[in-house]
Amino acid sequence: MSTILIAAPEHLQALKESDDFSDAQTFSDSEALRALEVITRKRPTVVALERLFAATTRGAALINRIKADPKLASCEIRIIAHDSEYSRVPGARPDSEADSEADGAADGAAGSVAVAAPAPVAAPLDQTGTRRAPRFPIVDGVEVMVDGNTATLVNLSLVGAQVVSPTILKPNQRLRIALAEGKRPIRISAGVAWASFELAKAGPQYRAGIEFFDAEPDAVQKFCDKKKRS
């Protein structure tokens, strides 16, 4: 049986001393992306995550990536505590859709962890009550500036947008967004309605729903008409 173990560095040695994980290939919690590459390539029988790591957004994202890969359907995910007790998480589903991220939550009892169901990858703005106008998918490759950092525009409406950014975005964060339009960008004060962390093939990224506060409807509509998918 092949096993991969992921935990904070201070817990790895103690967990390796247990019979279940003495032969496991180990990764620290900061090596989640490298661990995912090995998991995808080697398809281990068991992937064990220390419960404190599993309760983080990074841990939940890793779990959901494994569950979303049909090639890893036979992989057993174990959430383990310091005393090496564990709970199982259902493996990959063949009909799963790709990458999503969800928060996990550890309860107080050792060895017991609850992992929340994954959030939809393309979470609609109206899940937080911000969608008040039709939303249009945008053609691939359209970039916008979010607080001076480049982000990819996923969809757009007169009152908000969905973006994917390599820069951290957090719910309730206030920001400025700029839509490149001719010589004069459309500048909008906005806020993050929701955000999720994802482990994408290109690296960590944040998907977020943005709510506009002072957008000029005519300018945004003109931009949308040019960039929306036909």
pLDDT level of residue 90 (50, 70, 90 thresholds): low
pLDDT tens sequence across 29-39: 888 888 998 99
The answer to whether 64 and 102 have CB atoms below 8 angstroms apart is yes
Give the integer Cα–Cα distance in Å for 88 and 163.
34
pLDDT tens sequence across 169-180: 998 899 999 998
pLDDT tens sequence across 184-227: 899 999 999 889 998 888 888 999 999 999 999 899 999 999 99
Give the integer Cα–Cα distance in Å for 16 and 18.
5
pLDDT level of residue 85 (50, 70, 90 thresholds): low
Compute, in degrees rounded to 10, the torsion defined by CA atoms 159, 164, 169, 174: -20
Supply the pTM of this predicted model. Answer: 0.52
The answer to whether 4 and 47 have CB atoms below 8 angstroms apart is yes
Task: Report the candidate in 66, 75, 127 with the shortest Cα–Cα distance to residue 96.
Answer: 66
pLDDT at 205: 93
Question: What's the half-sphere exposure (Cβ side, CA atoms, 13 Å) at 212?
Answer: 23
pLDDT at 69: 85
More confident residue, 57 or 54: 54
